[in-house]
Structure 1
Amino acid sequence: MVCPRGFSVVFLSALLHTVAPWGAHPPERPRQCDAPKTQSDMNSFLWRVNRAPPHPPSYLFGTIHVPYTRVWDFIPDRSKQAFRNSRNVFFELDLTDPLTISKLTSCQLLPHGENLQTLLPRDLYRRLKHHLDYVKHMMPYWMTADQRGRGLYADYLFNAIAGNWERKRPVWVMLMVNSLTEWDVRSRGTPVLDLFLAQEAERMRKTTGAVERVEEQCHPLNGLNFSQTVCLALGGVVGLGL
Structure 2
Amino acid sequence: MVLARCAFVRACLALLLQASRWSARESSSCDLNRKQSELNSFLWTIKRDPPSYFYGTIHVPYTRVWDYIPENSKKAFQESNIVYFELDLTDPYTISALTRCQLLPQGENLQDVLPRDIYRRLKRHLEYVKLMMPSWMTPDQRGKGLYADYLFNAIAGNWERKRPVWVMLMVNSLTEADIKTRGVPVLDLYLAQEAERMKKKTGAVEKVEEQCHPLNGLNFSQFPDLVVCKVSMSIKEND
User: What is the TM-score with the length of structure 1 in the denominator?
Assistant: 0.83
Residue of structure 1 equivalent to 2:127 = 133
Equivalents in 2 of 1:119, 1:206: separation in Å? 45
Residue 118 of structure 1: how far off its partner (Å)? 1.5
Cα deviation code 1:165-222 (max 9, x no counterpart): 0000000000000110000000000000000000000000000000000011111110
Cα deviation code 1:45-100 (max 9, x no counterpart): 2100112xxx2110000100000000000001000000000000000000000000
Q: Is residue 203 from structure 1 mapped to residue 197 from structure 2 by the alignment?
A: yes
Residue 238 of structure 1: how far off its partner (Å)? 3.4
Q: Is residue 173 from structure 1 mapped to residue 167 from structure 2 by the alignment?
A: yes
Instruction: Give the 5 Å matches for 1:42-121.
Output: 42-51=39-48, 55-121=49-115
Equivalents in 2 of 1:238, 1:155: separation in Å? 23
CA 115–226 in structure 1, closer or farther in 2 if over 3 Å, else same: farther
Residue 117 of structure 1: how far off its partner (Å)? 1.0
Counterpart amino acid of residue 203 in structure 1: R
The 3-state SS of whatever aligns with 1:47 is: strand
Between the two proteins, the alignment pairs up a number of residues equal to 215
Cα deviation code 1:93-149 (max 9, x no counterpart): 000000000000000000122111111111111110011000000110000000000
Show structure 2 runs of 5+ residues with no match. Answer: 1-11
Residue 231 of structure 1: how far off its partner (Å)? 3.8
Residue of structure 2 equivalent to 1:24 = 13
Residue of structure 2 equivalent to 1:162 = 156
CA 156–241 in structure 1, closer or farther in 2 if over 3 Å, else same: closer
Residue 36 of structure 1: how far off its partner (Å)? 4.5
Equivalents in 1 of 2:38, 2:155: separation in Å? 37
Equivalents in 2 of 1:189, 1:135: separation in Å? 18
Cα deviation code 1:10-34 (max 9, x no counterpart): xxxxxxxxxxxxx83699xx99998
CA 104–36 in structure 1, closer or farther in 2 if over 3 Å, else same: farther
The 3-state SS of whatever aligns with 1:209 is: strand
Counterpart amino acid of residue 44 in structure 2: W
Give the root-mean-square deviation of aligned CA atoms. 2.2
Show structure 1 runs of 5+ residues with no match. Answer: 1-22
Contact 2:175–2:234 (CA<8 Å) still a contact in 1? Answer: no
Residue 38 of structure 1: how far off its partner (Å)? 1.2
The 3-state SS of whatever aligns with 2:81 is: strand
Equivalents in 2 of 1:146, 1:86: separation in Å? 33
Counterpart amino acid of residue 196 in structure 1: Y
* Identity percentage of aligned residues: 71
The 3-state SS of whatever aligns with 1:72 is: helix
Equivalents in 1 of 2:74, 2:33: separation in Å? 16
Equivalents in 2 of 1:191, 1:139: separation in Å? 19
The 3-state SS of whatever aligns with 1:65 is: coil
